[in-house]
Amino acid sequence: MSVTTNAAQTAARLRKIAERVEERAVDGLRAIAGATYREAGLGTPVDTGRARANWRVTVAGETFDVIGISTGPRAAQESAASQAESQSQREASSALAALRPGDRLFVQNNLPYIRRLNHGHSRKKPAGFVERALAEGRSVARRIRLVDRRGL
């Protein structure tokens, strides 16, 4: 038995496979970051909502911004936090949609007290919500398939 192959056809097929792997890798990173971001937000204890609103997803570079919430009556703070959280979610969706091969992606919260919350400072949610968010991201990553059995 002999196998005959055309170098140009083989090269074209390999390019197609490489493009598909790259697309699936970017889609996978979007899924991982999205799951991590969602789980971090859901796990964050809420008092005024500022901590939850400060979860951010950025592409290409870290942000060092902190979303401020106005001081004043409790209802005004909660309303401002809700609006900030919605804005943060829109920004995260835009960042994930803009992700391209080779980009760096960040999921972060820059509030100075986020570590204390994660270590259990608040009784509203259990400690370790960041670790649970990372575990959810890892779980998503394990299900990603860059190449199927046909090589695509």
Amino acid at 68: G
pLDDT at 147 exceeding the cut of 90: no
Q: By percentage, how much of the chain surpasses pLDDT 70? A: 89
Q: Which of 27, 43, 21 is nearest to 140 (CA)?
A: 27
Length of the chain: 152
pLDDT per residue as tens digits for the range 8-32: 888 888 899 899 999 999 999 999 9
